Amino acid sequence: RKLGVALVGLGRYAEYMAYQVKESQYCEFRALVTGTPSKAESWGKEYNIPEKNRYNYTNFDQIKDNPDVDIVYIILPNAMHKEFAIRAAKAKKHVIVEKPMALNPAECEEMMKACKDNNVQLAVGYRLHFEPYNLEMKRLGQEKVFGSVRIVEASLGYFSGQAGEWRLNKKLAGGGPLMNLGVYCIQAGRYITGEDPVAVTAQFGPVLRKELFSEVEESITWQMEFPSGAICTSTTTCAAGIDRLYASAEQGHFELSPAISYGPFRGRSTKGEMDFPQINQQAAQMNAIGKLLLDNQPMLDHISGIEGWKDMKVIEAVYKAARSGNKVGIKW
């Protein structure tokens, strides 16, 4: 049996997901939720979604009565994640929400509570936890293959920013590239060390395009300190392309570049080049989630709501540090 997925928000990533999920063994795209009637029509035709499975943002709650749908996958601007996750939970559907999970840790807590209260599962779309090169970085770090990790450098940026887009709007995005891309760097620092940061320092970068970046940062650099003494330095930016992950441990180093994008990934360590298959990350993610839901198993730890909440706690601390110029401690 395959589980039915309703995609909420039919933008760029939803389009990618809809296409990639065709290769999933346990999930299929069966319903859509959009505010644009013409998209309901064109996507409906392209993906064979019957009219009864096409919803808008107003009548979305009726999805409760639709047995075709098991999972609601929210791929909307960040500020809309909380509302739709809670509405999906109340409709008794499992919830997958894209990164960043929400705008702040308090919102994440509300989402987790709604899912718990309605007895449905919650996952964050952290696709890299299914990607072999990133899994290898995690293994090399957490299993201390080269000894304890001392330094991580994790940076991600794309030259981006278009007038009018929601990512430049503080209300809809919650922040700039730190929300959109920095969350991957925080994740990487955390999954390579296997630890949660206890303090951060941060600096906003220069604003090169003032007409676009008046509400959210264009670049930000930050440092995370971990309980073991490891440190992670990151820059995320809309002003340049960068996509790399580097870890230095007591007896060696390991790195990926490209590291965080959709690949193809490349990696090497003190022992030589890495050689793993380049996979369909979205199908792998949906297979893993679909299989565990079918087997009635709890959500995988590394993509759970708690993980999304932890990353939001770090993001909150990074902004606080950048605004104040002070080191900010994080209590867990």
- Contacts with ligand NAD by CB under 6 A lie at 9-14, 35, 75-78, 98-99, 125, 127, 166, 172, 180
Contact 101, 115 (CB under 8 A): no
Min separation Cβ 329 and ligand NAD, Å: 27
Q: Which is nearer to ligand NAD, 249 or 286 (CB)?
A: 286
Q: Which is nearer to ligand NAD, 13 or 204 (CB)?
A: 13
Min separation Cβ 36 and ligand NAD, Å: 6
The active-site residue out of 82, 99, 310, 313 is 99
Residue 258, SS3 per DSSP: coil
Min separation Cβ 286 and ligand NAD, Å: 12
Phi-psi region of 151 (alpha: psi -120 to 50; beta: other; left: phi over 0): beta
CA neighbor of 71 nearest in space, from 54, 51, 52, 91: 91
Contact 100, 176 (CB under 8 A): no
Whether the bond into 177 is cis, omega within 30 of 0? no
Q: Which is nearer to ligand NAD, 119 or 162 (CB)?
A: 162
Min separation Cβ 121 and ligand NAD, Å: 18
Number of neighbouring beta carbons within 10 Å of residue 153: 18
d(C-alpha 126, C-alpha 191), whole Å = 12
CA neighbor of 124 nearest in space, from 103, 87, 99, 104: 99
Q: Which is nearer to ligand NAD, 101 or 328 (CB)?
A: 101
Which pair of tokens denotes residue 227? 């309980």
Min separation Cβ 11 and ligand NAD, Å: 2
d(C-alpha 36, C-alpha 54), whole Å = 11
Task: Decide if 99 is catalytic.
Answer: yes
What's the helix, strand, coil split of the chain in %, to 5? 40, 25, 35
Q: Which is nearer to ligand NAD, 172 or 306 (CB)?
A: 172
Q: Which is nearer to ligand NAD, 160 or 223 (CB)?
A: 160
Q: Residues near 295 by Cβ (< 8 Å), separated by ≥ 6?
A: none
The active-site residue out of 47, 184, 246, 319 is 184
Q: Where are the beta strands (DSSP E) in 197-251?
A: 199-204, 219-225, 231-237, 242-249
Min separation Cβ 102 and ligand NAD, Å: 10
Active-site positions? Answer: 99, 184
